[in-house]
Structure 1
Amino acid sequence: METGDQKLGAEYALIERIARAAQSIAPPSMEAGLVVGIGDDSAVLRVGQRHLLWTADMLIEGVHFRLDWTDAYALGWKSLAVNLSDIAAMGGTPLASLLMLSLPPERTGEWLDEFIRGFLECARAYSTALIGGDTNRAASAEGPTVIDVSVLGVIEGLPVRRQGGRPGDWLLVTGSLGGPRAGLMRLLNHDRSDTEALQAHFMPCPRLHEGKFLRQHGAHAMMDLSDGLASDLLKLTHASQCGAQVLRAQLPVHAAALRWCRETGEDPALFALAGGEDYELLLAAPPQIAQTLLEECPHQTGTPLTHIGYLTESEEILLQDELGNLTPLFVEGWSHF
């Protein structure tokens, strides 16, 4: 039988190992101000009466992106957007960013100008200053290009964490699922016919307004969906020490994912569950609060919110079909290791 850590995968185990090592050297002054450390969407530091959020993400050519697929502008936008999604998951507001680049010489001219234009367009859209960073030459003329971004945010009050879920909470998700994966599948099949799918894949929109609204109105637990709903739900239930029951018929499948599944014969619900880079928000809230959120979130933020299941006392994650039958949910999603 797999342990919880084994189900979460090698990447989770690696992060846990680093976290244990880091705890052994944390100075007392840091421990006093550290509210959330390694393992959540953002670190949280208490500074006076405020809480600062600090997150970072690295994008590596050949692992996270291909330059024969994406243009520099879209890559610049996405490099910042994925970090802002972590701030959204805590219910915070971004303040500033640092940008670190490792580039081959051929990408220091027009390509870099377009990358920075995309990065700054995203920064402008979400009121995030670019205040510094670092640049280095890539290991060879062929690359790889490496993009490392760090974002600092702020929150009034306490952040929403992954560990706050309780049995009986409703599971809700913003927006729709599977669109970015549909874009990826199109690209893998040399098909650029679905511009909506490609847009979803290349230029995610972090749910910052939604994250603040959901935090302020009673979400118990929240995280962003970067690795796919099935995989990320496992992280939330593990942190909250409970299980989940997912309602298959209520999963909000993206229109581009539905088109892809009609063409290929794939199951839309399973396709959406195993997607990645949705950058929607998954949250848990008590039933009465959840019902209010379902009504108010679309009006206040313009983004739909869908009830997709429940947290349970069991440690299992189960998928309920239209007839009420329950089957274990096979966890499939993105992992680096």
Structure 2
Amino acid sequence: MNLSLPALIERLHTFSGIAHKRDIQQVAKQLREAWPNPNPNGDDCALIPDGDGYKLLAMEGFINRFVADDPWFAGWCGVMVNLSDIAAMGGRPLAVVNALWDDALPHAEQILQGMAAASRAYQVPIVGGHTNLRSDQPQLAVAILGETRIPLSSFAVQSGQTLMVAINLQGRWHPPGYNWDAATEASPAALRQAWSLLPELAEAGLIHAAKDISQAGLTGTLVMMLESCGLGAELDLDQIPIPPDVTLEQWLCAFPSFGFLLAVEEEHREAVQQRFARCDIACAAVGRFTPHRKLDLHFRQQHACYWDLTQQSLTGMTC
């Protein structure tokens, strides 16, 4: 049966990860008015000048139900998703802190065990935080500090650059949601090698911008990237690397553990693909950035607009 692109787009728009990103609109205006920032909000990390380079600062909070139902994996993700933000900015991580609230020590211990396992695997220390074991429910937030000499930024994308996707397909679903676990059973050495790729590519001048694929899914994350740079894109869904036995709709909604959108000059495309291939990471050219502020999708001879930023914003974090 042929998959209808307009029907697919309609279902993707109702995906819960998109709704969560829409919530950011409520604070975007207040942030701009309260503290004008020469490095505007909307990137994966705050970019703070520091001598000849930059410090990177990011933070992630987690849905309470996820923390309550899957404490060890929530702890692991607390470290992993922050590392993803640092990598997306061309950075290397320095340290992690957390804020953990819980109603029972055994449950809190599982969260900390997951964080400790990720800390050891990625070789990033947990250096402090805040703990309260008298809360009425489990809650977790994790922050990370990193550094970079050559930052990548969604605001640096230019029209005409090639849109590439790099994703680790070697994983499995971690139910009940669309979490693709390509990390917890991987070799720690392989994990660290993969996470070093983006800062190495940035320093080599082979990529100019990146964004990690978040809970908004691949297409939702791309809309966020386009909001930052004030551009549009054409995305060929047929070119996206997908694991066996996973449907396109599932994959477009997935948080892939290791997954990034990249802005690359065409002459660097092959070199970028080769670098990821050495680490067994699938990397493909899937489209290009355009001056028109729309995300247009192409799929099996079908063409449709996924998002028109001239008509509606997603996060409201714009340049």
Which TM-score bucket, shorter chain as reference?
Answer: 0.7 to 0.9
SS in 1 for 2:196: helix
* Structure 1, unaligned runs of 5 or more: 1-5, 25-30, 189-195, 260-267
Matched, 1:313 2:291: yes
Matched, 1:45 2:45: no
Deviations 1:119-169 (A, max 9, x none): 1221122221111111124542xx1x11111110111x2310011111221
Alpha-carbon deviation of 1:7?
A: 11
SS in 2 for 1:281: strand
Alpha-carbon deviation of 1:101?
A: 0.8
- TM-score, normalised to structure 2, is 0.78
Distance 1:163 1:90 in 2: 11
Alpha-carbon deviation of 1:53?
A: 0.5
* Structure 2, unaligned runs of 5 or more: 1-17, 309-313
> Structure 1 residues 8, 128: closer, same or farther in 2, change over 3 A?
closer
Return 286-295 or 9-18, whichever deviates more. 9-18
Given that 1:183 and 1:201 are in contact with CA atoms closer than 8 Å, whether structure 2 keeps it comes out as no
Matched, 1:99 2:98: yes
> Structure 1 residues 202, 103: closer, same or farther in 2, change over 3 A?
farther
Match of 1:246 among 235, 253, 257: 235
Distance 1:244 1:115 in 2: 39
AA matched with 1:99: N
Alpha-carbon deviation of 1:278?
A: 4.7
Distance 1:292 1:198 in 2: 27
Residue 3 of structure 1 is matched in structure 2 by none
> Structure 1 residues 37, 327: closer, same or farther in 2, change over 3 A?
closer
Matched, 1:59 2:62: yes
Matched, 1:216 2:203: yes
SS in 2 for 1:245: strand
Given that 2:67 and 2:140 are in contact with CA atoms closer than 8 Å, whether structure 1 keeps it comes out as no
> Structure 1 residues 8, 150: closer, same or farther in 2, change over 3 A?
closer
AA matched with 2:30: I
Residue 27 of structure 1 is matched in structure 2 by none
AA matched with 2:303: L
**Identity within the alignment, %:** 23
- TM-score, normalised to structure 1, is 0.75
Given that 2:223 and 2:307 are in contact with CA atoms closer than 8 Å, whether structure 1 keeps it comes out as no
Residue 130 of structure 2 is matched in structure 1 by 134
Given that 1:317 and 1:329 are in contact with CA atoms closer than 8 Å, whether structure 2 keeps it comes out as yes
SS in 2 for 1:149: strand
Residue 140 of structure 2 is matched in structure 1 by 147
Given that 1:176 and 1:252 are in contact with CA atoms closer than 8 Å, whether structure 2 keeps it comes out as no
Distance 2:107 2:274 in 1: 44
Show the 5 A alignment for 1:67-216: 67-68=68-69, 70=70, 72-104=71-103, 106=104, 108=105, 110-140=106-136, 143=137, 145-155=138-148, 157-176=149-168, 183-184=174-175, 187=176, 199-200=181-182, 208-216=195-203
Distance 1:278 1:179 in 2: 9
Given that 1:88 and 1:211 are in contact with CA atoms closer than 8 Å, whether structure 2 keeps it comes out as yes
Deviations 1:271-296 (A, max 9, x none): 32233455411111111112221123
Given that 1:91 and 1:208 are in contact with CA atoms closer than 8 Å, whether structure 2 keeps it comes out as no
Task: Note the aligned Cα RMSD (angstroms).
Answer: 3.2
Return 279-288 or 197-206, whichever deviates more. 197-206
Alpha-carbon deviation of 1:329?
A: 2.1
SS in 1 for 2:42: coil
SS in 2 for 1:117: helix
Residue 251 of structure 2 is matched in structure 1 by 272
Q: Compare CA radii of gyration and give the structure with the larger one.
A: 1
Distance 1:101 1:283 in 2: 33
Given that 2:241 and 2:283 are in contact with CA atoms closer than 8 Å, whether structure 1 keeps it comes out as no
Alpha-carbon deviation of 1:13?
A: 1.5
Aligned residues: 286
Match of 1:237 among 220, 226, 237: 226
Residue 5 of structure 2 is matched in structure 1 by none
SS in 2 for 1:67: helix
> Structure 1 residues 38, 198: closer, same or farther in 2, change over 3 A?
closer
SS in 2 for 1:329: strand
Distance 2:34 2:85 in 1: 21
